[in-house]
Structure 1
Amino acid sequence: MGKCKFNENWLFSQEFSPWLKPVPGNIYEARCILCRKSFKLGTMGIKAVESHMRSAKHKASKSGYRETAGISQFCSTLVSATPPRPSPASTTAAEAPDLRLITGGTPTIKAEKEMADHARAVAKEAVLKPSCALPENMPKIRGYDFNQGVDLRAVLNSYLTTGFQASSLALAIQEINRMIEKRLEPVEVEEVNESEESCGSSHKSGCTIFLGYTSNLISSGVRESIRYLAEHKMVDVIVTTAGGIEEDLIKCLAHTYLGDFSLCGKELRLQGINRIGNLLVPNDNYCKFEDWLMPILDQMVLEQKTEGIRWTPSKFIHRLGKEINNTDSVYYWAYKNNIPVFSPALTDGSLGDMIYFHSFKNPGLVLDIVEDIRRMNGMAIFAKKTGMIILGGGLVKHHIANANLMRNGADYSVFVNTGQEFDGSDSGARPDEAISWGKIRADAKPVKGSSDIAAAALLLAMALSSLKVAMLDHYSWCMQTPLWFSLSLWPRPSLCTPTS
């Protein structure tokens, strides 16, 4: 039968939708585009259509349609349908619909031209839809031009206009810049009171920065970047897991090696090799760690019994940093610079194994987590401003955020992880969820970067080290001038200044 079309009168009057829809029984259905009434077009279909077109309801719909939408733009719509081919085994010629009763004839040349013009106009309008004007100050996408040479500051600046997670990382750097600016603002000594000193927060700054990270970062080369931050006192509080403590200390005793993600676990186990992603840690490393740690635990038990020392996880870590006495260690520098390190799950790792084994040989060691939670929460409560830099998720993320809940939320926040929020986990939750809990202030501008932390943390550390030099130079100058004058000229340095 081929393709069939409406007759010229139906085409120009545009009373029916530009399609035919087959319904059971090989009867076709058409719909009036004005009043949405449907018709089954069989042998009596034309009469029903003509009757509807003369009805008052249809004429009223048509009049309203002309006033609102303008019927002229819908004229000459291409209307066609291909009826299903009847199966020879099940349908006879007498049962097939008489399409002549439906179509009424063949469209004229004029009608076909109108159809083509309309089709072109509809497609053009859809494809070339006009845009609204964007703000003049909206950043324009442009990457770094290496014809300018390699300039670290300029490369990091270009991240903001690179797009995707590069822009997220640039926003994270901006947020960290704001933390450091606030942290370097002078604070009057008399603002520190006895309550704060009892909470271990006598070190006062314009912004107390909490740094949290998971153990895998210490296992990796990110450890050296974190050590740099502790060495140069760029953070005030550290929170990590048991692995984040022990892996740093073990690296002072033996090496971790680069392997491959696809190495066979069974074969590695037979050889006494432990795999952390594509990192390899010989099991002998933990034997050396045990030999080093056991005498320290003995001494701690002795001091507890003879001197009445009440050990906490943070005091334990402080002692380990002192005993390791190695400048490669994060916790050596935390000890030297009096940066408290909190690890509420300290027994969840090799440290827990050693404490367990030691408890049989020399029982009695007690670690008080209550004193630690009072101390950490107090540091958040009495801080002038707080900032959170959280690399990874899980315990460290929630422990820092929950401490900031005690002060109605952190002022500055940066999360870097690859977690997603769709499983309801805290690890993957966006900062906006923390705002709902009061862990980030409602007027804050938190940033989450979805990135491999091993890459992102190195860039963040480079940005911080570059910024630190510039800001400390200016800060030293400020200290030689009147306070009101230095603050009035305080710059707003940023490695990622938005560009238009």
Structure 2
Amino acid sequence: MKVNQISIKKDMKVSELMEEFKGSGVLGAGRVARASNLLVNMINDPDMDIFMSMAGPLVPGGLRYIVGDLIRNKRIKVLITSGANITHDLLESFGGRHYRDLGFNDEELNDAGIGRISDVYTQSEDFEVFESEIIKIFETISKKIDNDKDNGIISIQRLLKEVGSLIEDENSILRLAYENDVSIFAPGLIDSMFGLQLWMFTQDHKLVVDAVGDMHYLSDLVFESDKIGAIMLGGGLPKHYTLASNLLKGGIDSGLQITMDRPETGSLSGAPLEEAKSWSKAKHGSNLVTVVGDATALFPLIYAAALDKID
């Protein structure tokens, strides 16, 4: 089968561009097309629940609405993410913003109260609002937990659900997850501004976060699912939590990952998904696609093309 040269025309749809990618071989464009087709198949399969993981600054990088759309339309069952993305979702819910085009002199940025994430920026004033608002939410949750049988103990998943119930922003990932019964897990939650404020709050309040408690609920979700597909944006802890949660059932049935990391170091972030089969984190015969590139550029393209084919 020959490689077709990519043909571009004016006003073509994203799905049409993806068809051009599909015929171009198995290099970058071909992998992107395979990932988009796999995403369609996963979403259209009524027997498949989809676990999505996000590592890296994907909310600051512009994917907040896309993740929200997946949740709102019940296209994912579980979201596993870093504490940083939780923090930045809430920062926007509390009126903060992420900025661009402010320059790269980091000492001057520091003096001006601005933090930099590559070429995305945040203001310390927004984090001050975040800190005051999240403490109010912790106080509400703490009073609620103190009054029930849990003796002040709460799992991360339930904590995030309770936070989502108290957010008014209709675009908040946490709020949408609460409204649409999508479970959010953040195994590295403490390693974030959210986690720092939580630690400070627990110094003089009775609120104990039980990370192990998440595994009871997550394992139930795995065993209740006929098939599981995975969307993994970036690597790290969220990717491993997604794959490892399926270990006891023989692994995921389908999966796509987008990563910038390389496999030579042996890190999980750069490992091709085929490697997961050796650990029973992906099943024999599972449909797997690894795309090397920037998730903030490639996943919107993959999802936009898939929308024309989703039932």
Q: TM-score range by the shorter chain?
A: over 0.9
Normalised by the length of structure 1, the TM-score is 0.59
Instruction: Indicate the larger mover: 309-318 or 420-429.
Output: 309-318
Which secondary structure state, in structure 2, belongs to the residue aligned with residue 216 of structure 1? coil
2:107 corresponds in structure 1 to: 266
Partners of 1:144 and 1:154 within 8 A in 2: no
Answering whether residue 164 of structure 2 is matched by residue 340 of structure 1, we say: no
Matches within 5 A, 1:11-410: 138-146=1-9, 149-163=11-25, 164-182=27-45, 184=46, 206-252=47-93, 253-259=95-101, 263-309=104-150, 310-360=153-203, 362-410=204-252
Question: Which residue identity lines up with residue 356 of structure 1 in the other structure?
Answer: W
Q: Deviations over 1:165-216 (max 9, x none)?
A: 111111111211221232x2xxxxxxxxxxxxxxxxxxxxx00100001240
1:345 Cα deviation from its structure 2 partner: 1.2
Q: What is the 5 A alignment of 1:409-420?
A: 409-420=251-262
| 8 Å contact from structure 1 (residues 172, 447) kept in 2 | yes
Are residues 139 and 319 of structure 1, via their aligned partners in 2, closer, same or farther at CA, if it must alter by over 3 Å?
Answer: farther
2:285 matched residue in structure 1: 443
- Cα contact 1:334–1:340 (8 A) shared by 2: yes
Q: Which runs of 5+ in 2 are unaligned?
A: none
Displacement after TM superposition at 1:461 (Å)? 2.2
> Please, what is the CA RMSD of the aligned residues?
1.5
1:461 matched to 2:296? The reply is no
Would you say 1:431 and 2:273 are equivalent positions? yes
Residue aligning to 2:263: 421
Whole-angstrom CA distance in 2 between matches of 1:152 and 1:394: 30
- Give the Cα separation in 2 of the matches to 1:443 and 1:239: 24
Distance 1:312 1:172 in 2: 33
Cα distance in 2, alignment partners of residues 462 and 412 from structure 1 = 20
Distance of 1:313 and 1:367 partners within structure 2 = 6
Letter in 2 for 1:398: H
Residues 215 and 247, structure 1, Cα contact 8 Å, conserved in 2: no
Amino acid at match of 1:351: F
Rounded to whole Å, the distance in 1 between the matches of 2:307 and 2:164 is: 23
Percent identity among equivalent residues?
A: 24
Number of corresponding residues: 307
Higher normalized strand content (fraction of residues): 2
CA deviation profile, 1:72-95 (whole Å, cap 9, x unmatched): xxxxxxxxxxxxxxxxxxxxxxxx
| Matching residue's letter, 1:255 | R
Residue 211 of structure 1 aligns with an amino acid whose one-letter code is M
The whole-number CA distance in structure 2 between the counterparts of 1:257 and 1:168 is: 31
SS in 2 for 1:341: strand
Distance in 2 (CA, whole Å) between partners of 1:175 and 1:412 is 8
Partner deviation per Cα, 1:205-255 (whole Å, 9 max, x = no partner): x00100001240011211111111111111011000101111011012211
Counterpart-to-counterpart distance in 2, 1:462 and 1:222 = 12
Give the 3-state SS of the residue equivalent to 2:286 in structure 1.
Answer: coil
Structure showing greater relative contact order (alpha-carbon pairs closer than 8 Å, 6 or more residues apart): 2
Shift of 1:359: 2.3
CA contact (8 A) 1:215 1:242 kept: no
Give the letter aligned to residue 157 of structure 1: E
Higher Cα radius of gyration: 1
1:139 deviates by: 4.8
The residue identity in structure 2 corresponding to 1:334 is A
Aligned-pair distance for 1:437? 0.4
CA distance in 2, matches of 1:443, 1:151: 32
Distance in 1 between the 2:8 and 2:142 partners? 61
Q: TM-score normalised to the size of structure 2?
A: 0.94
